Structure 1
Amino acid sequence: MDIPVVLSHRTAALIRRTEHLERLRAAARANGERYGVAPYVEESDLPDIGLSTSGLKASAIVQRIRSALSTWGIPDRDLVRLDVMVPFAEDRVRTRGMDCHTLGRAIGEYDVFPVARGLVTVSDALCFAQAGAWMGSMELIEWAYELCGAYFLPLDGDYAERPVCLTRDELRCQLERYRGVRGAAHALRALNSVHDGARSPMETAQAMMVSCPKSMGGLGYRHIVLNHRVGVPPDYSRYTSAPYYEIDLFAPVRGVGVEYDGDEHSKKARRGHDAERMNVLSLMGYDIKVLTSVQFSRQLDMHRAMNGIAASIGIKVPSSAKFQQAQEQLRRFVTRRWCNGS
Structure 2
Amino acid sequence: MHRTDIAPRRRRLSTALLKQAPTALEVDRAREMLACLSDEPAELHVINVGTSQRGRRKDVVYHRTSAAYLGELIYLGNEIYMVAPELLFIQAGQWMSFWQHVEFGYELCGSYLGFPVFARSADNQKRASLRRAVLAQAISVHVHMRGVARARRALWYVREGSRSPMETAMMVLWVVPKRQGGLGIRAIEMDVHIPIEREFQNMTRRSHFYLDAYVRHARLNFEYDGRQHRLDTQIATDHERDNVLARQGIRVCRISASQLNIASEFRRVVAFVAECLRYKLPQDADYYVKQDKLRRFVIRHYDIYARAA
Whether 2:45 is the aligned partner of 1:83: answer: yes
The farther-off stretch of 297-306 and 309-318 is: 309-318
Aligned AA (1:225): E
- Helix, strand or coil: the match of 1:128? helix
Aligned AA (1:224): I
Aligned positions of 1:182-331 closer than 5 A: 182-331=146-295
The farther-off stretch of 158-167 and 200-209 is: 158-167
Contact 1:87 1:107 in 2 (8 A): no
Match of 1:95 in 2: 57
Deviation, structure 1 residue 119: 1.5
Between the two proteins, what is the percent identity of the paired residues?
Answer: 27
Query: Residues 154 and 217 from structure 1, CA distance in 2 versus in 1: closer, same or farther, beyond 3 angstroms?
Result: closer
- Helix, strand or coil: the match of 1:101? strand
Quick one: distance in 1 between partners of 2:275 and 2:50? Answer: 53
Deviation, structure 1 residue 63: 3.3
Deviation, structure 1 residue 91: 4.0
Query: Residues 314 and 104 from structure 1, CA distance in 2 versus in 1: closer, same or farther, beyond 3 angstroms?
Result: farther
Q: Which has the higher contact order (CA 8 A, sep 6+)?
A: 2
- Helix, strand or coil: the match of 2:168? helix
Aligned positions of 1:85-164 closer than 5 A: 85-88=47-50, 90-108=52-70, 110-153=71-114, 155-156=116-117, 157=119, 160-164=124-128
Aligned AA (1:267): L
Deviation, structure 1 residue 288: 1.4
The farther-off stretch of 161-170 and 210-219 is: 161-170
Quick one: distance in 2 between partners of 1:134 and 1:250? Answer: 31
The farther-off stretch of 220-229 and 160-169 is: 160-169
Query: Residues 68 and 295 from structure 1, CA distance in 2 versus in 1: closer, same or farther, beyond 3 angstroms?
Result: closer
Structure 2 counterpart of 1:66, from 31, 46, 65:
31
Contact 2:45 2:61 in 1 (8 A): yes
Deviation, structure 1 residue 107: 3.4
Query: Residues 240 and 294 from structure 1, CA distance in 2 versus in 1: closer, same or farther, beyond 3 angstroms?
Result: same
Please list every run of 5 or more consecutive structure 1 residues that lacks an aligned counterpart in the other structure.
1-18, 29-39, 44-51
Provide TM-score, normalisation by structure 2: 0.86
Quick one: distance in 2 between partners of 1:69 and 1:235? Answer: 54
Query: Residues 63 and 158 from structure 1, CA distance in 2 versus in 1: closer, same or farther, beyond 3 angstroms?
Result: closer
Quick one: distance in 2 between partners of 1:175 and 1:91? Answer: 29
Deviation, structure 1 residue 284: 0.9
1:280-322 Cα offsets, whole Å, 9 max, x none, are 1111111211111110110011011012112212221212211
Deviation, structure 1 residue 104: 3.2
Query: Residues 162 and 253 from structure 1, CA distance in 2 versus in 1: closer, same or farther, beyond 3 angstroms?
Result: same
Aligned AA (1:303): R
Aligned positions of 1:17-28 closer than 5 A: 22-25=5-8, 28=9
Quick one: distance in 2 between partners of 1:22 and 1:132? Answer: 27
Contact 2:211 2:223 in 1 (8 A): yes
The farther-off stretch of 224-233 and 331-340 is: 331-340
Deviation, structure 1 residue 65: 2.9
Deviation, structure 1 residue 42: 11
Match of 1:166 in 2: 130
Aligned AA (1:118): E
Deviation, structure 1 residue 241: 2.3
Contact 2:6 2:76 in 1 (8 A): no
Q: CA RMSD in A?
A: 2.6
Quick one: distance in 2 between partners of 1:99 and 1:192? Answer: 31
Provide TM-score, normalisation by structure 1: 0.78
Quick one: distance in 2 between partners of 1:107 and 1:249? Answer: 35
- Helix, strand or coil: the match of 2:218? coil
Quick one: distance in 2 between partners of 1:181 and 1:68? Answer: 28
Query: Residues 287 and 339 from structure 1, CA distance in 2 versus in 1: closer, same or farther, beyond 3 angstroms?
Result: farther
Deviation, structure 1 residue 215: 2.2
- Helix, strand or coil: the match of 1:317? coil
Deviation, structure 1 residue 339: 4.8
Contact 1:62 1:97 in 2 (8 A): no
